[in-house]
Structure 1
Amino acid sequence: MQPTIIMRPDISDATDKANLQVRLSGLELFWSHGAVRKTFILLALAVIWEVYARMLGNPLLFPTLTDTLVSLWSSVLNGILFERTWASLKILVLGYSVGVLLASALTILAINTRLGTDLLETLTATFNPLPAIALLPLALIWFGLGIGSLVFVLVHSVMWAVALNTHSGFRSVSPTIRMVGRNYELKGLRYVFKILVPAAFPTILTGLKIGWAFAWRTLIAAELVFGVSSGQGGLGWYIFENRNILDIPAVFAGLLMVIVIGLVIENLIFKTIERSTIQKWGVQN
């Protein structure tokens, strides 16, 4: 009687396949993080910047990323960039805060009264299409060469975007959630802050992001004009000042700082708020 031969899979091959699967799973897990993908995109853009600038070979037209970073580091060491950045951020926080408060007051009025709704819709239809920077000449006449002019244009750039998104979010709250608030006999501000705000916060946060972006762009643009008039200012004036002396790497360093601040606020402050509110409350879309 012939012995039966049982063919077994190669143990080494099976182990290699298992290890390969583990490695692939690890790479997939690593790539699944949004921060990793965003970092990869930023690194790719940095490489493209450096390669294109070297191919162009004209530092007055488009400096390399290396030269820009050297200029950025030099401005950080002498303190001028931090000084200009701090000047811009102080005005930004003031104008943004006032704009959000005014938008909140208008929205609360609109959600509680028909006249308030008509007022909000009329004002937003009238002033929202008007670019904030176009009001700067009038602001300089009304408020003079000071922080008041910049705050005025910032409030205009923030107010309507926040008000529109907040009002839209309030109106989209489901009747069931509204009924819960009525059953608990919530009225006025208690009804708004305990029922409407948590339910509509994804839309409200979107409005806050849009308002922040509008305010930051408007501030830098306004400082270019305001800096010329007053001889001082923040990042916008820093960019304009270096453009006048043809220090193009410093100009790009200023622009890079504007981008970095935008990335930090978007991915640190707003993402933290989102994790602490929207995801915690279970209203993430």
Structure 2
Amino acid sequence: MIDGFTNPQRQILSYLGHSLIAIVKGLGIGAVFAIVFSGLSVVSSTFNAIYNLIVSIFDLLPGVALLPILMITVGANDTSILILVVHSVIWPMSRNIIDGFKTTPRMYIEAGKNMGLGTLGLVTGVYIPASFASMLSGIKVGWARAWRGLISAEMIFGAAQSAGIGVYINNARTVWIDYPSVYAAIILIIIVGVIVEYCVFRVIEKLTVRKWGMVR
């Protein structure tokens, strides 16, 4: 198993880096779309009704279920992986943001209006800060879904992909016949998850919502 980490011919960290770049891109794009669409839901009740329906439908659709369609329309490539990650992120994050917007205290909204804030000012200066705890929870759920979906997609694409930790597992299992490398990759996946949870999300939570007294 140790050889799976140290074997220079396997380059496990290079495969992992490819996956991390893909998921960071997808998380960023998905977060931007989720915030924009959720903000529009505050502005327009019609858009809110339509978007809530869309979120309810697609939030239940596993990302892996989209793979056959993506392989036919886009191909087994990095673009398909990116679409899968965005799909995994945008819906749970949108649901949490919208729920957070709905629970924004009325007094905050009225205070913002009395200060002369327009619609955009209310969204950026009142709704988003007040619902940041919900947003963070949505990002956590989106990250977990995206990480699982990304690795699954890479394993399914297999030889069609040049890199990715899922491709590494597939190659170790079918090409190299090197099961210690499979275990090494699984351990690395777990380590990444723990690092993201405790060194990223917990730190952000401590510096924001805990510091602001929004959660204990």
What displacement does 1:233 show? 2.3
What displacement does 1:231 show? 4.8
Aligned to 1:216: 147
**Amino acid of the structure 2 residue aligned with 1:233:** A
- 1:27-106 aligned at under 5 Å gives the runs 68=1, 70-75=2-7, 80-106=11-37
| Pair member with larger Rg | 1
Q: Secondary structure at 1:95's aligned position in 2?
A: helix
Aligned to 1:45: none
What displacement does 1:98 show? 1.2
Give the TM-score of the pair, scaled to structure 1: 0.72
Aligned to 1:235: 165
Give the TM-score of the pair, scaled to structure 2: 0.93
**Amino acid of the structure 2 residue aligned with 1:238:** Y
Alpha-carbon contact 1:227-1:233 (below 8 Å) kept? no
Q: What are the Cα deviations for residues 11-66 of structure 1, in whole angstroms up to 9, with x where unaligned? A: xxxxxxxxxxxxxxxxxxxxxxxxxxxxxxxxxxxxxxxxxxxxxxxxxxxxxxxx
Q: Sequence identity of aligned pairs in percent?
A: 31
**Alignment RMSD (CA, Å):** 1.5
Instruction: Name structure 2 gaps, 5 residues minimum.
Output: none
Instruction: Name structure 1 gaps, 5 residues minimum.
Output: 1-67
Aligned to 1:255: 186
> RCO higher in 1 or 2 (8 Å CA, sep ≥ 6)?
2
Alpha-carbon contact 2:5-2:181 (below 8 Å) kept? no
Alpha-carbon contact 1:226-1:233 (below 8 Å) kept? no
Alpha-carbon contact 2:77-2:161 (below 8 Å) kept? no
What displacement does 1:190 show? 1.5
- 1:76-225 aligned at under 5 Å gives the runs 80-225=11-156
Q: Secondary structure at 2:210's aligned position in 1?
A: helix
Alpha-carbon contact 1:198-1:281 (below 8 Å) kept? no
What displacement does 1:210 show? 0.5
**Amino acid of the structure 1 residue aligned with 2:120:** L
CA–CA separation in structure 1 for the residues paired with 2:195 and 2:83: 25
What displacement does 1:97 show? 1.2
Alpha-carbon contact 2:154-2:161 (below 8 Å) kept? no
Aligned to 1:34: none
CA–CA separation in structure 1 for the residues paired with 2:19 and 2:126: 36
CA–CA separation in structure 2 for the residues paired with 1:171 and 1:91: 32
Q: Secondary structure at 1:280's aligned position in 2?
A: coil
What displacement does 1:111 show? 1.3
What displacement does 1:150 show? 0.7
